Amino acid sequence: MNAGAQVVAAVVLVGGLAGGMWAMAQASGQETEESRPAACSTGHDGARPSRHASPHASGVQLCRALNRSDLAELLGTPAERAETADGSVSSTELAGGSKIVTPEAKVTLKTYTVQLSASYDDFTVSRMARLLGSNAEKRTVLGRPAVLSSDRTIAIRFRFDGGRSGKADTAPGGPARRLLVARNAKDGGGSFEVVVWRQDEGMPDDAALLRVAEKVLPTIPGWDAD
């Protein structure tokens, strides 16, 4: 790497949902020569094979639901393709020793990054809307309570001096739009969240976010569970 070369990453902070925080990073550098869209990796989210169907989706399952062949078209950028696709699982330990396990997935394209996560706790969307205050816009999506809100990304810049060492700087990044949708029509607890942000730090298109949510969410395992 030449002296002074930089790698820039945009990290979206998605906080507050069930006390958890999701930090997802996108790094841009060399262009790939592959012409095929990125496929979801398997076996990286800690999920164990089971003979019984689980009402909880794994990170890989969320990735497969999100990494649709028409994702770019839904985002309004039909000429693009998925450049990276990944699913994982994170956990948050609460007071008393209980844990909240959160599967999540991220797909990046040239213009947008899309993140999908699921929460299987008792935290309701209506409560989340109250916590967000004036930043929250209540919606109904696929017949379920939902809330639309904004967040900010953090830009992380790595500066290299030509050797192996380097320095990292952080600065405010562009906006992200978040859509939180209840797991059921009664809003009995738990939710699915779709987040989009742009690589150029511009304002994401709400219509694109809603199109993605309406197509992706019904394909998640356990979507129809009460």
- The reported pTM is 0.77
Alpha helices in 22-66 (DSSP H): 59-66
Three-state DSSP at 143 gives: coil
pLDDT at 96: 74
158 pLDDT band, cuts 50/70/90, is: low
Per mean pLDDT, which range of 148-152, 157-161, 183-187 is the poorest? Answer: 157-161
Domain parsing of the chain, residue ranges: 8-17+57-219
What single DSSP character describes residue 60?
A: H
Distances (CA, A) of 180 to 58, 133, 185: 18, 14, 13
Residue corresponding to tokens 């405010």: 172
Bridge partners of 203, per DSSP, are none
pLDDT tens-digit series, residues 178-210: 999 999 999 999 999 999 999 998 999 999 999
Distances (CA, A) of 22 to 117, 188, 222: 9, 23, 22
The pairing of beta strand 137-141 with beta strand 99-108: unpaired
Could you give the CA distance from residue 2 to residue 161 in angstroms, rounded to a whole number?
A: 8
Distances (CA, A) of 162 to 6, 157, 212: 11, 15, 42
pLDDT tens-digit series, residues 87-115: 999 877 777 777 778 999 999 999 999 99
